[in-house]
Structure 1
Amino acid sequence: MDESIYSSVSILKGVAGKRLEALNQLGIYTVLDLLSYYPFRYEDLQVKDLSDITDQEKVTLKGVVIADPVINSFGYRKTRLIFRIAIEQDVIMVTFFNQPYLKGQVKAGEEITIYGRWDSKRSSLAGMKIIGSKTAEQKEFEAVYSVSKSIQQKTLFNLVTQAYELFADQIPEIIPVSLKEKYRLISHKEAVYAMHFPTDEEQSKQARRQIIFEELFTFQMKLQVLRRQEKSVKQGIEIAYHVAHLRTFIASLPFELTAAQKRVVNEICADLKSPYHMQRLLQGDVGSGKTIVAAIALFATVDAGFQGALMVPTEILAEQHMESLDQLFDPLQVKVALLTGSTKPKLRKEILEQLANGSLDVVIGTHALIQEDVQFKQLGLVITDEQHRFGVEQRKILRNKGNNPDVLFMTATPIPRTLAITVFGEMDVSIIDELPAGRIPIETTWIRPKMFESTLEFIESELVKGAQAYVICPLIEESESLDVKNAVDIYEKLATYYEGRYQVGLLHGKMKAAEKDTIMQQFKENQVQVLVSTTVIEVGVNVPNATTMVIYDADRFGLSQLHQLRGRVGRGSKKSYCILVANPKTEIGQERMKIMTETTDGFLLSEKDLELRGSGDLFGRKQSGVPDFKVADIVTDFGALEAARNEAQQLIKQPAFFTDATYHALRMAVGIEDTEKLSFD
């Protein structure tokens, strides 16, 4: 029989055409995908006593139907199915909305079991489903799946049941027996069964525990294999710069490097000189001086006779880097060029020729750098700034333009160190964890929307001194669904308020690139004093004259994003301010505002952000390289993640992992063929 757990889900009875398409849309392509499509919650269907339940609780009640049900119509094509049931001495009303077809299952004098939401004030139950009548079999614990309009819960459950009955014996056991025993884990086959068909909450917990560890352990094994391949199989470039030249360059800088900058420069330079391929993540809080570290790494690369490339997500940021690097490198005859989508064809042609013949040392640009006709003579170092903004494929294309150049990823989104090391396990991690001396802390206050008039007066008190201000809004135009301030409305209000005294500009993501660049240039040159913007302003803009950052509906943003926005001010010698305008209706929203006023430490904020919002919001699921686990979460399951990392680090060192039949399923799961050999010297 050719059919297996890896076969298309279409081999199951009842799966074809639109149903197959619906399953594919849920990410279910194979039988294994289906069995790994776990419920996101469970309904406790154990029958409760009326005395044990609280208002608005979801409960299961059992009683005897007193009289035949009645259907009432109301509104446009809406119905109510109403009947009463007796539970011992009590009589309660049961209502099902828009499910008239259930009438046939409700008969006077018969016992019935119903799941719904209890309303203690009315002594009534808003029915969600009839679990069983007198003749039906009743479950006490039921899985609930994330489904679409094209496929129902019952259909998906029946398909999972069919798949398990046919292919349970083929479910792979990936975790080695020794680790199962060490962590007291059930088998994966048992875990899959208990995820879909648990008899109680304890059984589902045991299943989740096994699957969480397996997901994290497999992920960590993949990272360890990647790391070993980078360190042992892939030969890197030995960038033999002159230490004396580099020291002279660093001494010529107009400021002293911080201790943290010196430490990361040493880490990066050691990697450059090493014959192994560098893949390092450089984290640094807003304003910590990552750009100068990048400049030092680029200078060392050029000094050794290689070319460097710096890729950034926006043209504004590319121009800013060009301006600062050109000032540093011009006296040293290091030739730098800017390549973006806006570069004129004639200049672009010149730059491409100079990159190909080696007369251009460093190129700074956007995704324009990864176009096919961009070729380097000897690319030694690739730096990507705000690396999470680029897809994995985009970064890979740039790396492939050289002979395995060293790679430095930079991000201003602080990630707690232990989490960074664990999640970005295939990279080395460097952290700049102190700000340059003399930086004046930004004063952050939280106000309610009704105080906005006084905020306008405060902004004006700063404008009078010659400073500038940002006003950030979460939406571009008015929204019917969200009651949040929008940039267009705020722009019009501020333009009217400051008319004749100060110029107000508007910036948002729907504007054309040329329009955005014009507005930003006007703001940088102080032709515009107040810039109303959406979060398009978040990354990299440097206007030292801006001293005030006002963020509308600040509770709509995560802490890390608020911190990034706050970092747009405080870049000059003047005292700067961040004003959070918010009326949060949730405890989490209030907690965010409170934390923002108490600290300017980006790493502390990122830890709080993880606690409050989870990893998806911090990293951005699709492009950061952080996997979208089915069950595990890198924040709430951090203990399991660390244990999995430690076990993976130990196992990868054992030659038996690559040859022993015991690890065959694990090798397949991490993408290593049985014949593949890696050097571990």
Structure 2
Amino acid sequence: MSRPEILYPLYAELETLEGVGPKTAKAFAALGVERPKDLLYLLPASGIDRTRRASVRDVVPPATLTVEIEVGAHFPPRRKGGPYRVMVRDSQLEFQLVFFHARGDYLQTLLPTGQRRLVSGKVELFDGVAQMVHPDHVLRPEEASELPTFEPVYPLAAGLTQKVLSKAVTAALVRTPVLSEWIDPELKRREGWPDWRAAVQAAHLPKDVSGLAFTHPARARLAYDELFAHQLTLSVARASLRRGKGNASVGTGELQRKVLQSIGFALTGAQTRAVAEIAADMAAPQRMNRLLQGDVGSGKTLVAFLALVIAVEAGGQGVMMAPTEILARQHHEGLEPLAAAAGVRLALLTGRDKGAEREAKLAALAAGRIDILVGTHAVFQKDVHFRDLRLAIVDEQHRFGVAQRMELGAKGEAADVLVMTATPIPRSLALAMHGDMDVSVLDEKPAGRKPIRTVLVSTSRIDEVIAHLAQAVADGRQAYWVCPLVEDSEVVDYASAEARFQQLRAALGDGVVGLVHGQMPSAEKDTAMARFVAGQTAVMVATTVIEVGVNVPNASIMVIEQAEVFGLSQLHQLRGRVGRGSAASTCVLMYQGPLGESGERRLKTIRDTEDGFRIAEEDLAMRGAGDLIGTAQSGLPRFRVADLERQSGLMATAQTDARKLLAEDPTLSSPRGLAARLLLWMLDHERAIRLISVG
């Protein structure tokens, strides 16, 4: 398990590199560089063309010029703080080098009159005279070969200069060993990728500007290495989850038939496909670890319930977990008629269950008198035991990491796990976040779902919006009114929501409008939501998006204030809260003009499409991967070379390749497997190596 010896030089302290002292090492930490190996993946962001020219005449100022000159006379400044000028002559023309705050004796030694030097820097015209202010490089003719024709420019942090950084990189490159190949030879040949060491060298010493492009073979190879290491780690985690043998749960189809008869409409093609994929996984002896990814309103809950029913048909139990109490209640209510139709015993367990009532539920669960349990995190508690748990379904991945999935799996000796998410994620991101899982996608709307009309309205027309709302309420319809997130303070949010609540109440009448916001105690939130669900209030004013995970079929209007401050996926999720009933629904995006370019692009995208996957792709293109899922809780890896937006194809290849390698060599002990271990070490994926060693 110890680190391979060949990598020792790359794991040494940074201070062992030439020109790096304790202070510089500290500055490097801000760039995420702690060991020489980290420098290898800190690639130049741009470059400067330092091609040798014969004369200043060969460039059009302002431009970078590299030229050999003969040093002429020195003219020290006439007044304190003035410019120090040195006249120089190239093969055709005379021009000036200009220095500020420089010591004369230093410049005399750097540029002795009558000698030849190579200078490189930016040339500008000043009163018709060509000047180079503070040349970047001044070299003797015999040192000229040290200056590359194309000089890489690195991202910097406080306390670092280009000079210090490129010196450290050069020193790290000298230490780079030749490593055995971990990439599939056929893939490498097809893509025309260089060997690892050659790729690192080429990425740091580009010949010209094309060497900086993400499509350049050296960069593409290093990006692939990162994605491959990441996918290997996920595949190892997936294999170790599956290694715990599962129970083969084979359904009879009998209860599923009863459920489908009771709903009175046919499944979509996507639903049928997803149910088949889940059933096949459940019937297999390994544990299922699948993600059910569905757009808003694509009928995920029904697919999930059919999966739970398969577990019951096979003689076991199922559990469905929701992130909040109110969502758990909602799931329970929604599933009750289906459970009744199939003759399946369904129960709800939340943090509210106390005392004798809770004891009775736990006893029934342990004895197998409950077939399907719906609950919150309460189902995790130590005293919750199942007689034979076959399937655990988790709603909304984001609040739920790999660790909890494993914990949940431990409840049943080998329960299959299905994770549901209502956030369509572009494929590249789904692979980056959930590469340890198999994915089923619901990308069709069930028949009978009406399209939602989406309109953009400027805030200045709020009175018209309220008048329309009053009419709709008089017609017996219900609406959501979402207030923007003001700054980052719940208190301010609360104040703005409170003000809007008062205004709507004054316009629509007492008892018509409800309010939920982040500052309210849970019980009050639940009561307010329950009143809205029951139709006692007609308009629900809400701050945070999270509160609106509920299903109110009669709600057919969604007003979103300052829609321009919300992300695309958020807007799509919010809009999906209406359009669930028989009435035609409308979503009003109110914006504060004038709109910036990206705000306008976001709102038009939402107005023009209801396809969550298209919206997610657009979101990714606009915001980048980290933002899309909120980097803090995204569980998204930080790639240094790979770019998920532009290299999504590589991610898919990396996943296939990683799974194939592990299938052929589960312990990574073949020559290619051992090489892959080196890659995992180098990119800090030791966890995977530990899991393999344990396995």
- Give the distance between the partners of 2:415 and 2:488, measured in 1 at CA: 47
1:183 aligned to which of 181, 185, 191: 191
Tell me which residue corresponds to 2:567: 558
- Give the distance between the partners of 2:24 and 2:16, measured in 1 at CA: 11
Deviation at 1:666, TM superposition (A): 1.5
- Give the distance between the partners of 2:604 and 2:598, measured in 1 at CA: 10
Unaligned ranges ≥5, structure 1: 73-80, 480-484
Deviation at 1:415, TM superposition (A): 3.3
CA gap of 1:32–1:243, structure 2 versus 1, over 3 A, is same
Tell me which residue corresponds to 1:131: 136
Indicate if the aligned counterparts of 2:480 and 2:541 stay in contact, CA closer than 8 A. yes
Tell me which residue corresponds to 1:628: 638
Aligned length: 652
- Give the distance between the partners of 2:665 and 2:533, measured in 1 at CA: 59
Alignment of 1:156-167 (within 5 A): 156-165=165-174, 167=175
| Paired AA for residue 238 in structure 1 | A
By percentage of residues, which structure has more helix? 2
- Give the distance between the partners of 2:298 and 2:338, measured in 1 at CA: 18
Q: CA RMSD in A?
A: 4.7
Indicate if the aligned counterparts of 1:469 and 1:530 stay in contact, CA closer than 8 A. yes
CA deviation digits over 1:101-128, x for unaligned, max 9? 7899997998986569x999x999999x
| Paired AA for residue 392 in structure 1 | V
Higher mean C-alpha displacement, 305-314 vs 623-632: 623-632
SS of corresponding position for 2:201: helix
CA gap of 1:94–1:661, structure 2 versus 1, over 3 A, is same
- Residue 215, structure 1, aligned to residue 213, structure 2: no
CA deviation digits over 1:373-405, x for unaligned, max 9? 544332211111111332222222212222121
CA gap of 1:520–1:115, structure 2 versus 1, over 3 A, is farther
Tell me which residue corresponds to 1:32: 37
- Give the distance between the partners of 1:312 and 1:369, measured in 2 at CA: 10
Give aligned-pair identity as a percent: 38
CA gap of 1:379–1:133, structure 2 versus 1, over 3 A, is same
- Residue 489, structure 1, aligned to residue 493, structure 2: no
Alignment of 1:629-668 (within 5 A): 629-645=639-655, 647-648=657-658, 651=661, 654=664, 660-668=670-678
- Residue 202, structure 1, aligned to residue 210, structure 2: yes
| Paired AA for residue 586 in structure 2 | Y
CA gap of 1:441–1:105, structure 2 versus 1, over 3 A, is farther
| Paired AA for residue 406 in structure 2 | K
Indicate if the aligned counterparts of 2:240 and 2:691 stay in contact, CA closer than 8 A. no
Indicate if the aligned counterparts of 2:10 and 2:176 stay in contact, CA closer than 8 A. no
Unaligned ranges ≥5, structure 2: 112-117, 681-687
Higher mean C-alpha displacement, 522-531 vs 431-440: 522-531
Indicate if the aligned counterparts of 1:354 and 1:360 stay in contact, CA closer than 8 A. yes
Alignment of 1:281-360 (within 5 A): 281-329=291-339, 332=343, 334-340=345-351, 342-344=352-354, 347-348=357-358, 350-360=360-370
Higher mean C-alpha displacement, 417-426 vs 202-211: 417-426
Indicate if the aligned counterparts of 2:344 and 2:371 stay in contact, CA closer than 8 A. no
- Give the distance between the partners of 1:402 and 1:667, measured in 2 at CA: 33
SS of corresponding position for 1:186: coil
Indicate if the aligned counterparts of 1:399 and 1:407 stay in contact, CA closer than 8 A. yes
CA deviation digits over 1:260-303, x for unaligned, max 9? 32332233223223323222221221112111221222222234
- Give the distance between the partners of 1:491 and 1:86, measured in 2 at CA: 72
- Give the distance between the partners of 2:632 and 2:444, measured in 1 at CA: 30
Deviation at 1:438, TM superposition (A): 1.9
- Give the distance between the partners of 1:518 and 1:84, measured in 2 at CA: 79
Indicate if the aligned counterparts of 1:560 and 1:606 stay in contact, CA closer than 8 A. yes
Tell me which residue corresponds to 1:253: 263
Tell me which residue corresponds to 1:77: none
Deviation at 1:29, TM superposition (A): 4.4
Deviation at 1:488, TM superposition (A): 3.2
Tell me which residue corresponds to 1:78: none
SS of corresponding position for 1:168: coil
CA deviation digits over 1:33-60, x for unaligned, max 9? 3433x13612435489899889xx9x64
- Give the distance between the partners of 1:132 and 1:325, measured in 2 at CA: 74
CA gap of 1:152–1:449, structure 2 versus 1, over 3 A, is farther
- Give the distance between the partners of 1:123 and 1:448, measured in 2 at CA: 55
| Paired AA for residue 346 in structure 2 | K
TM-score in terms of structure 1 length: 0.79
CA gap of 1:657–1:316, structure 2 versus 1, over 3 A, is closer
Tell me which residue corresponds to 2:396: 386
Indicate if the aligned counterparts of 2:44 and 2:153 stay in contact, CA closer than 8 A. yes
Tell me which residue corresponds to 1:499: 506
TM-score in terms of structure 2 length: 0.78
Tell me which residue corresponds to 1:402: 412
- Give the distance between the partners of 2:519 and 2:24, measured in 1 at CA: 38
Tell me which residue corresponds to 1:4: 8
- Give the distance between the partners of 1:630 and 1:123, measured in 2 at CA: 44
- Residue 435, structure 1, aligned to residue 435, structure 2: no
| Paired AA for residue 429 in structure 1 | V
Tell me which residue corresponds to 1:276: 286
Indicate if the aligned counterparts of 1:474 and 1:553 stay in contact, CA closer than 8 A. yes
Tell me which residue corresponds to 1:569: 578
Indicate if the aligned counterparts of 1:186 and 1:206 stay in contact, CA closer than 8 A. yes
Indicate if the aligned counterparts of 2:426 and 2:617 stay in contact, CA closer than 8 A. yes
